[in-house]
A and B are shown apart, each in its own frame.
Chain A
Amino acid sequence: KQEVTQIPAALSVPEGENLVLNCSFTDSAIYNLQWFRQDPGKGLTSLLLIQSSQREQTSGRLNASLDKSSGRSTLYIAASQPGDSATYLCAVRPQSGNDMRFGAGTRLTVKP
């Protein structure tokens, strides 16, 4: 069964820093991997979707990479801002089954 782990569970950085959030998964047989942002009490907002044939995706200050063979993905946030403070979740779509497997998330705080 696919397991998804996110480290660290929480991260606090000063404004302006570049930072990396990590996601690891146990089974490399995936369709895709998706990164989400969740603000307190809200639903999940999709940030980036990486198909299994892709190595990375970029959107603005965000860059997500995927290394299927090692079971890892990273979300790089450039020039962090207080508005980036949220919980970031990664999820993988296994090739077997029709659901997504989620990590528990990394809670990010960016201090002004």
Chain B
Amino acid sequence: DGGITQSPKYLFRKEGQNVTLSCEQNLNHDAMYWYRQDPGQGLRLIYYSQIVNDFQKGDIAEGYSVSREKKESFPLTVTSAQKNPTAFYLCASREGLGGELFFGEGSRLTVL
């Protein structure tokens, strides 16, 4: 079945460590996105990519990094520079300008 796969589902990190969240899609979508969700708040955009080898910062990119070496993959690295990384992270993809946005199941990161 076509869809978006995020891994791991749960991740625990010690302060000062970098972690990478995986996002893979087999929908053949050009655009991919990373959002962060905190309790009681709307989703906030971290990074997005419209095409391979190109990506743009969103509203809260500080402390995060991404790469887009393949159309199917858009991994997110949460670096030690991110001051409050504990959150629920959601990956999404879309086909075309007016297309429907699809989401993965999310990854919950907890910093100990």
B45:A99 contact, CB within 8 angstroms = yes
B25 contacts A by Cβ under 8 Å: no
Instruction: Indicate the size class of the contact surface on chain B.
Output: 20 to 34
Interface SS majority for chain A: strand
Count chain A residues whose beta carbon lies closer than 8 angstroms to a beta carbon of B: 24
B75-112 interface bits toward A, Cβ cutoff 8 Å, 1 = contact, 0 = none = 00000000000001010100001101111111010000
Q: Is A45 an interface residue (CB 8 A)?
A: yes
Interface residues of chain B: helix, strand, loop or mixed (majority): strand
Q: Is B66's CB within 8 Å of the partner chain A?
A: no
Q: Say whether B103 contacts A98, CB under 8 Å.
A: no
Given contacts A4-B42, A99-B48, contact A31 B97 (CB under 8 A): yes
Known A44-B103, A46-B103, A98-B31; 17 more pairs at CB < 8 Å: A32-B98, A36-B103, A41-B88, A41-B108, A42-B106, A43-B104, A44-B92, A46-B100, A46-B101, A51-B98, A91-B43, A98-B56, A99-B33, A99-B48, A100-B43, A102-B42, A105-B42
Complex A-B: 7 CB contacts under 8 Å: A46-B103, A89-B42, A89-B43, A98-B31, A98-B56, A100-B33, A102-B43
Q: Which residue of A lies closest to B90 (CB)?
A: A43
